[in-house]
Chains A and B, each alone.
Chain A
Amino acid sequence: MIELKQVSKKYGDTIAVNKVSFKVEEGENLVLLGTSGCGKTTTLKMINRLIEPDGGQILINEADVLQQNPENLRRGIGYVMQNIGLFPHYTIEENISVVPKLLKWEKKKTADRIYDLLKKLHLPENILQLFPSQLSGGQQQRIGLARALVANPAILLMDEPFGALDNVTRSKIQEEFKELEELKRKTIVMVTHDVLEAFELADRICLMDRGEIKQIGTPKDLLFKPANDFARKFLDGQRLALEFKVIKISDLWPNLPNAANNDAKALNPAMTIWSVMEMLSSKGTTELSFVNKNDERKVVNFNELSKAFNEYKKHLQP
């Protein structure tokens, strides 16, 4: 668990981070979202003391990070960055082994762990003897992730981890990222300026502007209960897409027509509108059926979906 209490950072006369406080629960994924210069990266880097705060307290599992040896602290926290920062003069194997070596792991243990990770990240074994410059951008980013994960840190800090990738590679790696079992157990703080990415990956989003937190809450909170004008306007450009990504079939359940048949291929209502629409447009089918825990059955097509969605939104208006 990570807790920030009234944390501040100044550069000369400019206040980069102003009295920021938040908590990240164990296993939670908190995304720091905002435009460049809003203080999100500074906030992230203060957690592992790459940047030293000027005021306030940062606690990890109730221990003040400022009281700890910074090197030992960092060895226990995974760190993934936009520019990846692989060491160009190290082979891939040596790059991944940096932290285990610092922690003086046995060679066998390190090697086993590396093979395990390679498999999970869909990377070939022969990659280990190559140098970073011989890898594609996507492969390099996966190695960067492997390097951060290899020593099983409970906490992972990610600074725009997908920022340097092209669109196709990025969505592919984001998918893998969501699927990775290892990451589901970890406490993650991630920085991004990409609203869609934040909504896709976050349990909660911390929206920042000019060094201050504007709103902190679930994606749904941000969309439907904006705390202020800034939060509202920040999401306006992509509002519809975000709503489709956030609202699930289960949210629309009462507004959907009951199904007559007993379709054996009925789907789980935890799917978002976005993914249902993707299925409807790609599969060539006009209807999809769902079944919930209580064995209630509903049927969905484009028409019904937009009707139910509008109903749902009407409800939300105060």
Chain B
Amino acid sequence: MSEQQTLWQFMSMESDKLLNQTLQHIGLTFISLLFAIAIGLPLGILIARKRKLSGTILGIAGVLQTVPSIALLGFMIPLLGIGAKPAIVALLIYALLPIIRNTYTGIIGIDKHITEAANALGMSKLQILLKIELPLAMPVILAGIRTATVINVGVATLASYIAAGGLGEFIFGGISLNNTNMILAGAIPAALLAIILDALLSIIQRLDFKKLRRILTAFPVALVLFSALYILPSAYGSGLKAGFTPEFMGRQDGDLGLKSAYGLKIQTVVISDAVMYQAAYSKELDVISGYSTDGRLKAFDLKILKDNKGIFPPYYAAPIVLQSSLKKLPGLEDALNLLAGKITDSIMTDLNYRTDYLHQTPTQVAKDFLIKNKLYKTPRNGNMGTVKIGSKIFGEQYILAEIYSMLIKGNTDYQVETKTGLGGTKICFDALVNNQIDFYPEYTGTGLLAILKPDAKLVTKISSDRDETYRYVRAEFLKKYNIKWLKPIGFNNSYALMMRQKQSAQLNVNTITDLKNYLDKN
């Protein structure tokens, strides 16, 4: 009961955002649907006329459908930038197949005697299409539109990855911030939206011909009206545009801190960490929230703005392990601690640079690193049990997971199973708590702010001192979750605001205060 209360409280507290995101979500879904119909319907008609083309066109639409949505959004950025355009194009690509296929099936499924009669009465080809074929195929076409709508409501959640808004902002923000209420505040409206739209369209689909005709004239009007709901996030006066990850948006050492400590007011969109650097490089964004050790910093020629008020304290990275796993797998702790203190900030940045920019595989980078530091040993191929390693979904974590994997194989008789690419802090941490993985590399700041969430007073007291933070999370994790923080790996990772080198020099913006002053002036 209390859980529901808090969800309700969260939703009413964030009702402005929720309404805005829901409208954006509906808008995105319908704009892309509108375009998908505008393209899919004529294509479906075309292949119903020229059946030889049907295999090719349905094949292409089918292949497009199988491209993973995140990958598709990634492909769009160099072509269309970030924001609404690429999101709409990606959504329309997913909606295309059901619409083309159902238009085609609907038309070729019409009793051929009916079209022959229409022909024999002297109707023109266009009249036959508009008055006979499309109305008779309409229930099947509507079924296709219905499928496309439900797909779109689902895929539109991913639009928040590329700063196009929608309910995905809450969902992915919630996953990153380990905030169940936030996830549900996005997921429940999205699910309801899918169910309601599905039900509405199923009613239209089952109407008899007479009523259908009247509804069908209203349908395009409704489509356009819904599309108009999509209003881009309102802009502040300045010309600069920021892209922050959903996690950054909700953290005290993130957007909240920027607002309270610096009073920074900048036009902000929510965007996935995976595409953020690329977007900054291609001038879609001017300011982004990155990680201080990220290799793409070097790769994309970005500059860290100095945090002159110290809202991004440095945090240690260290593996966190289930106590039960340490007991079950003796020798594991020693193997993991081999890495303690070995990776400094500059080494981590370099390792990240190798994967992000030189496109070496994490395995290769990990092996090279270990050999260089004389830590590499040939795998023992032992059979004493299996260690399950987890990692979050960004580059640094893949490399760390590989390094740990090699250390375990070379120094113990365990086999290794890696579960890399776990979506966010919540997914990773839940996997650990539920014994799906034995350990993963975590950051003390995330442990403090996203998992433990102590009150603000305590946070300000301890978060300025990284050793104090480490001691606090170590003690609390052991007490609360029976999870042990091993020795820090050495590097500090923290959030950082970044700009393009060139722009920073041009505007003479070197610190966050510079940025605020620049924004206030313009």
Interface residues of A (CB under 8 A from B): 48, 50, 70-76, 79, 81, 83-89, 98-99, 102, 131, 147, 157
Given A50-B116, A85-B113 in contact, is the A147-B121 Cβ separation under 8 Å? yes
Taking CB atoms and an 8 Å cut-off, the chain B residues in 5-35 that contact chain A are: none
User: Which of A84, A88, A98, A131 is B121 in contact with, Cβ under 8 Å?
Assistant: A98
B310 to chain A, nearest CB (A): 72
Asked if B481 is an interface residue, CB under 8 A from chain A, the answer is no
Are A131 and B209 touching (Cβ within 8 A)? yes
How many of chain B's residues touch chain A, expressed as a range? 10 to 19
Are A79 and B117 touching (Cβ within 8 A)? yes
15 A/B residue pairs, CB under 8 Å, sorted by A: A48-B120, A73-B122, A75-B121, A75-B122, A79-B120, A81-B113, A81-B117, A81-B120, A83-B113, A85-B111, A87-B132, A88-B114, A98-B121, A99-B121, A99-B122
Q: Which chain B residues border A131 with CB–CB below 8 Å?
A: 209
Q: Which chain A residues border B121 with CB–CB below 8 Å?
A: 74-75, 79, 98-99, 102, 147
Asked if B189 is an interface residue, CB under 8 A from chain A, the answer is no
Are B120 and A71 touching (Cβ within 8 A)? no
Taking CB atoms and an 8 Å cut-off, the chain B residues in 108-137 that contact chain A are: 111, 113-114, 116-124, 127, 132, 135-136
Are B119 and A74 touching (Cβ within 8 A)? yes
Q: Which chain A residues border B111 with CB–CB below 8 Å?
A: 83, 85
Closest to A73 in B: B122
Q: Which chain B residues border A83 with CB–CB below 8 Å?
A: 111, 113
A173 to chain B, nearest CB (A): 19
Q: Which chain B residues border A88 with CB–CB below 8 Å?
A: 114, 136, 209
Secondary structure call for the B interface: helix
* CA gap between A98 and B116 in the complex, in Å: 14
Q: Which chain B residues border A73 with CB–CB below 8 Å?
A: 122
* CA gap between A118 and B379 in the complex, in Å: 93
Q: Which chain B residues border A70 with CB–CB below 8 Å?
A: 122
Given A88-B136, A89-B136 in contact, is the A74-B122 Cβ separation under 8 Å? yes
Nearest 8 interchain pairs by C-beta: A85-B117, A75-B122, A74-B122, A89-B209, A79-B120, A83-B113, A85-B113, A71-B122
Are B117 and A87 touching (Cβ within 8 A)? yes
* CA gap between A237 and B425 in the complex, in Å: 88
Interface residues of B (CB under 8 A from A): 111, 113-114, 116-124, 127, 132, 135-136, 209, 213
Closest to A102 in B: B122
Q: Which of B113, B114, B117, B213 has the most CB of A within 10 A?
A: B117
* CA gap between A50 and B116 in the complex, in Å: 8
Q: Which chain A residues border B120 with CB–CB below 8 Å?
A: 48, 50, 74, 79, 81, 85, 157
Are B119 and A98 touching (Cβ within 8 A)? no
* CA gap between A75 and B127 in the complex, in Å: 14
Q: Which chain A residues border B124 with CB–CB below 8 Å?
A: 71
B113 to chain A, nearest CB (A): 4
User: Which of A72, A75, A76, A86 is B117 in contact with, Cβ under 8 Å?
Assistant: A86
Closest to A82 in B: B113
* CA gap between A157 and B119 in the complex, in Å: 14
Q: Which chain B residues border A75 with CB–CB below 8 Å?
A: 121-122
* CA gap between A76 and B121 in the complex, in Å: 9
Q: Which chain A residues border B132 with CB–CB below 8 Å?
A: 87
With contacts A86-B114, A89-B136, A102-B127 known, what are 14 further pairs, Cβ within 8 A? A50-B119, A74-B120, A83-B111, A85-B113, A85-B120, A87-B132, A88-B114, A89-B213, A98-B121, A98-B123, A99-B122, A102-B122, A102-B123, A131-B209
A204 to chain B, nearest CB (A): 24
Q: Which chain A residues border B213 with CB–CB below 8 Å?
A: 89
* CA gap between A71 and B118 in the complex, in Å: 10
B133 to chain A, nearest CB (A): 11
Are B118 and A87 touching (Cβ within 8 A)? yes
Q: Which chain A residues border B127 with CB–CB below 8 Å?
A: 102
* CA gap between A259 and B406 in the complex, in Å: 124
Q: Which chain B residues border A48 with CB–CB below 8 Å?
A: 120
Are B116 and A72 touching (Cβ within 8 A)? no
Q: Which chain B residues border A102 with CB–CB below 8 Å?
A: 121-123, 127
A48 to chain B, nearest CB (A): 6
* CA gap between A157 and B135 in the complex, in Å: 27
B30 to chain A, nearest CB (A): 27
A285 to chain B, nearest CB (A): 47
B204 to chain A, nearest CB (A): 15
* CA gap between A79 and B116 in the complex, in Å: 10
Are B116 and A81 touching (Cβ within 8 A)? yes
Closest to A98 in B: B121
* CA gap between A84 and B127 in the complex, in Å: 19
Are A87 and B114 touching (Cβ within 8 A)? yes
* CA gap between A75 and B121 in the complex, in Å: 6
* CA gap between A87 and B123 in the complex, in Å: 13
B312 to chain A, nearest CB (A): 66
Q: Which chain B residues border A147 with CB–CB below 8 Å?
A: 121
* CA gap between A102 and B124 in the complex, in Å: 10
A129 to chain B, nearest CB (A): 10
Q: Which of B122, B123, B124, B209 has the most CB of A within 10 A?
A: B122
Q: Which chain A residues border B123 with CB–CB below 8 Å?
A: 71, 98, 102
Q: Which chain A residues border B136 with CB–CB below 8 Å?
A: 87-89
A156 to chain B, nearest CB (A): 12
* CA gap between A86 and B114 in the complex, in Å: 7
Q: Which chain B residues border A81 with CB–CB below 8 Å?
A: 113, 116-117, 120
* CA gap between A70 and B118 in the complex, in Å: 13
B49 to chain A, nearest CB (A): 17
Q: Which chain B residues border A84 with CB–CB below 8 Å?
A: 113, 117
Q: Which chain B residues border A71 with CB–CB below 8 Å?
A: 122-124
Q: Which chain A residues border B116 with CB–CB below 8 Å?
A: 50, 81, 85
Closest to B119 in A: A50
A104 to chain B, nearest CB (A): 12
Q: Which chain B residues border A157 with CB–CB below 8 Å?
A: 120
* CA gap between A200 and B331 in the complex, in Å: 103
* CA gap between A75 and B136 in the complex, in Å: 23
* CA gap between A87 and B136 in the complex, in Å: 9
B467 to chain A, nearest CB (A): 78
* CA gap between A89 and B138 in the complex, in Å: 11
Q: Which of A83, A89, A147 has the most CB of B within 10 A?
A: A89
B421 to chain A, nearest CB (A): 52
